[in-house]
Structure 1
């Protein structure tokens, strides 16, 4: 039996919040994307942490919902 981790919208937002990104669970993914991109523009030193998070979530045993993948792609 293969166990697969699933990254959904709630998980994604929780991980961004843990990094200190200015997002809330109530925001849509479009709002989250805009907020994080704005945050990264103001605080570019956070970019490696967001990129590492995205890489971590795309590991072999993790399934990322397509709408989450679109937002992660915007982070570069």
Structure 2
């Protein structure tokens, strides 16, 4: 039996919150995207951390839901 790590919307938001991004679990993914992009414009020094997070979450043994992957692509 193969065990696959799955990154869903909740996981993605939790990881962004852990980085200090001003997002909440109540926001839609489109709202999260807009919030993070605005945050990165205000604090560009955070950009490498968000990019690293997205890269880490897209490793070969991890499955990322398509809607989460679309938002992550914007940050890369």
When normalised by structure 2's length, the TM-score is 0.97
CA distance in 1, matches of 2:47, 2:13: 16
Post-superposition offset of 1:3: 1.2
Which runs of at least 4 in structure 1 moved beyond 2 Å after TM superposition?
A: none
Residue 32 of structure 1 corresponds to: 32
CA distance in 1, matches of 2:11, 2:72: 13
Does 1:58 find its partner at 2:67?
Answer: no
Q: Which ranges in structure 2 are unaligned for 5 or more consecutive residues?
A: none
User: How many residues matched?
Assistant: 76
Post-superposition offset of 1:32: 0.1
Residue 74 of structure 2 corresponds to: 74
Q: Which ranges in structure 1 are unaligned for 5 or more consecutive residues?
A: none
Asked if the contact 1:3–1:61 (Cα under 8 Å) also holds between the matched residues in 2, the reply is no
Post-superposition offset of 1:2: 1.8
